[in-house]
Chain A
Amino acid sequence: MEFFDILVSILGSAVRLSIPLLFTALAGLFSERAGIFDIGLEGKMLASAFASACVAYVTGNAWLGLLAGIAVSIAFSLVHGFASITNRGNQIVSGVALNFVAAGLTIVLGQAWFGQGGRTPQVPGEGRFAPIILPGADAMRDVPFIGPLYANVISGNNILTYIAFLMVPLSWWVLYRTRFGLRLRAVGENPGAVDTAGISVPWMRYRSVILAGFLCGFAGTYLAVAQSAAFINNMSAGKGYIALAALIFAKWRPVPVMFACLLFGFLDALANFMQGKVVPGIGEVPVQIFQALPYVLTCILLAGFIGIARPPKAGGVPYTKER
């Protein structure tokens, strides 16, 4: 197999693997930029994957599945918001609790409804997001270099993939070019100032966690009814945490978030490809090296070797209005 074909195959795989990370990291971006740390991304992804798989299986409609995924994810977000905004609880504790709730609840409900050990039945073909062949993909295939890239990497993904990439400029625009975005960022840096300006800090923060829930709903749906065709116990498999790492790696900015997610997806795809392959001069490289790289890179970044990752100043601090 030609080197270039291998590269195209790995890139295609990298895109597919990075989509759930991208949605989740953007979700974290909105939440954390408003000063609400969100360890519960993993749980929200899992819960929405379960909801979307259930609804897509029952109705046979992928879009209804997506709606259900988003609804459940937002519900989880609101619980997180209620605990950490209204009641000023510890955001980390609330997030971790939601992760456990999601992991347990999905299995219990799945077992009760479908009796398959927490798994949902296979979603039928029309209940899934099918790959979209972009116009001209087949005609372009024979054009050197650009053709295979277009046909195998850019074309042939499902609609959620394109939505994910559209979300990146959209998030940037919302955060940096709208009044809402300015206030959202301000609430994460200096909520006191926002309050002085007569804007409700809790309402701003609630809106940000709802946005986070909205985006996480896409991530879960992608896992359950686009990438695979059923919900499986704990299928998020730590992706929420990798997304958090990507968010920190990108220093809480939307466009770098995309590149960080693509990089982590690429490392994952490379790990899959390198398995059992012998590298000349080195021998067989253990795949664990590639799988650990996202975390290692994030640690190196946090240690201050690649610039400084500065989290939003008011992150994790419940806002108390002075009386």
Chain B
Amino acid sequence: MKKTLLSLFALAAMSASALAAEVKPALVYGTGGKFDKSFNEAAYAGAEKFKAETGTDYRDFEPTSDTQGEQAIRNFASRGFNPVVAVSFAWTSAMEKVAAEFPDTKFVIVDSVVDLPNVRSVVYKEEEGSYLVGLLAGMASKSGKFGFVGGMDIPLIRKFACGYVQGVKAAKADAQIFQNMVGTTGAAWNDPVRAGELTKNQIDQGADVIYAAAGASGLGVLQTAADNGKFSIGVDSNQNHLHPGKVLTSMVKRVDLAVYNAYKDTQGDKFTPGIQALGIKEDGVSAAIDDNNKSLITAEMQAAVEKAKADIIAGTVKVHDYMSDNSCPN
């Protein structure tokens, strides 16, 4: 009995090392769901791009609750998937556990940092991207009042808010900014009704540009703003097309790049663990300008964004990161 078990283990170990050489990509989404038109959809786009280019299929999983993430990651790792990419801060502790158990598998976590030799942590300088869209908002607003609707009340979302506030104030020093969070649980990413109601509240208080950083809940923000003839700002994916002419811009976070690069690097045996912080300089975040919002962005605004970009890259403008000290300068 013992012998059979031992040989089974040996077999398992051998097959694991044999599989490590080839790419068998897996992707675990956040609880917002694959098609949230935002964060998770960007990850999906990255995986799809890899599939289209290389013909290598990938497996993905949409956890519907916070407890499913660990299961999903472990499941993929134990079935020989490599690399395993998990997007969302919610899988941080799950990743810490599972990555330690499977030292030969390569893991990537997006939006959080896990300090293990086989994990690549991709974080974004959301404050920089939010600063840019804040700047645009500041120049587009007539009332001088602004809204921010966040999803779950976590430091990461406050980082979006903080960057936005700094951008708005750079354009309009006396701006008034209303900030709301949809909730304090994972359900906050999927509650467009409440998000819409919060938006209506901010509009009633005079806000005419509202920035949504709330996953699928953000769709409610964009809808309400469009219904009331105000501007909204999308997040993570380019959401300008959802309500053409009503969405001022989108803070695009290239989650697709993180996923795509993870697969590509593993394939080319160039996978590097450690922290990757993607900001404006690395083209990890940007303010989306396309055909849908071209008419809303004046040449002056465009120039201001380009200047801000250059300044941030050069270091002459420093956008404060909320997560560095858990506070936002006013």
Secondary structure of the A side of the interface? loop
Instruction: Name the one of B178, B181, B184, B197 contacting A16, with C-beta atoms under 8 angstroms.
Output: B197
- B33 in the interface, Cβ–Cβ < 8 Å? yes
Contact B196 A227 (CB under 8 A): yes
Distance of A229 Cα from B192 Cα, bound (Å)? 9
A230 partner residues in chain B, CB cutoff 8 A? 192, 219
- Near B by CB (< 8 A), chain A positions 28-67 give none
Contact A272 B190 (CB under 8 A): no
- A314 in the interface, Cβ–Cβ < 8 Å? no
Chain A interfacial residues counted at CB < 8 A:
30
Distance of A122 Cα from B239 Cα, bound (Å)? 13
Contact B219 A13 (CB under 8 A): no
Contact A228 B187 (CB under 8 A): no
Residue of A17, A228, A275 contacting most chain B CB atoms (<10 Å): A228
Distance of A272 Cα from B184 Cα, bound (Å)? 13
Distance of A17 Cα from B242 Cα, bound (Å)? 25
Instruction: Name the one of B179, B201, B220 contacting A272, with C-beta atoms under 8 angstroms.
Output: B201
- Near B by CB (< 8 A), chain A positions 224-257 give 227-230, 232-235, 237
Contact B193 A122 (CB under 8 A): no
Contact A117 B193 (CB under 8 A): no
- B118 in the interface, Cβ–Cβ < 8 Å? no
Q: Mark B216-227, 1 if CB is under 8 A from A, else 0.
A: 100110010000
A122 partner residues in chain B, CB cutoff 8 A? 219, 223, 242
B9 partner residues in chain A, CB cutoff 8 A? none
Nearest CB in chain A to that of B180: its residue: A275
Distance of A305 Cα from B184 Cα, bound (Å)? 31
- Near B by CB (< 8 A), chain A positions 116-139 give 116-119, 122
Distance of A275 Cα from B182 Cα, bound (Å)? 10
Contact B35 A116 (CB under 8 A): yes
- Near A by CB (< 8 A), chain B positions 144-163 give none
Chain B interfacial residues counted at CB < 8 A:
30
Shortest B148–chain A CB gap in Å is 10
B192 partner residues in chain A, CB cutoff 8 A? 228, 230, 232, 235
Distance of A201 Cα from B59 Cα, bound (Å)? 54
Contact A229 B36 (CB under 8 A): no
Q: Mark B169-210, 1 if CB is under 8 A from A, else 0.
A: 000000000111100100100111110111011001110000
Nearest CB in chain B to that of A222: its residue: B193
Q: Mark A60-89, 1 if CB is under 8 A from B, else 0.
A: 000000000000000000000000000000
Shortest B239–chain A CB gap in Å is 12
Contact B35 A237 (CB under 8 A): no
- A273 in the interface, Cβ–Cβ < 8 Å? yes
Contact B197 A233 (CB under 8 A): no
Contact A235 B204 (CB under 8 A): no
- B74 in the interface, Cβ–Cβ < 8 Å? no
Instruction: Name the one of A115, A228, A275, A288 contacting B35, with C-beta atoms under 8 angstroms.
Output: A115
- B34 in the interface, Cβ–Cβ < 8 Å? yes
Distance of A167 Cα from B219 Cα, bound (Å)? 31
Distance of A116 Cα from B40 Cα, bound (Å)? 12
- A1 in the interface, Cβ–Cβ < 8 Å? yes
Distance of A122 Cα from B216 Cα, bound (Å)? 12
- B62 in the interface, Cβ–Cβ < 8 Å? yes
Instruction: Name the one of B62, B193, B200 contacting A235, with C-beta atoms under 8 angstroms.
Output: B193
Contact A9 B201 (CB under 8 A): yes
Instruction: Name the one of B179, B184, B190, B193 contacting A223, with C-beta atoms under 8 angstroms.
Output: B193
Instruction: Name the one of A1, A116, A118, A227 contacting B193, with C-beta atoms under 8 angstroms.
Output: A227
A288 partner residues in chain B, CB cutoff 8 A? 184
- Near A by CB (< 8 A), chain B positions 206-253 give 206, 216, 219-220, 223, 242
Query: Would you give 30 A-B contacts (Cβ < 8 Å), ordered by A?
Result: A9-B204, A12-B204, A13-B201, A13-B204, A17-B197, A117-B34, A118-B33, A119-B33, A119-B35, A122-B242, A227-B193, A227-B196, A228-B220, A228-B223, A229-B223, A230-B219, A232-B190, A232-B219, A233-B190, A234-B190, A235-B190, A235-B192, A235-B193, A237-B187, A237-B194, A269-B197, A269-B201, A276-B180, A276-B181, A288-B184
Give 9 nearest A-B pairs by CB, closest first: A9-B204, A117-B33, A116-B35, A117-B35, A117-B34, A275-B180, A228-B192, A229-B223, A272-B198
Beyond A228-B196, A228-B223, A276-B180, 13 extra complex contacts between A and B, CB < 8 Å: A13-B204, A115-B35, A117-B35, A117-B36, A122-B223, A122-B242, A228-B220, A230-B192, A232-B190, A233-B190, A235-B191, A235-B192, A276-B178
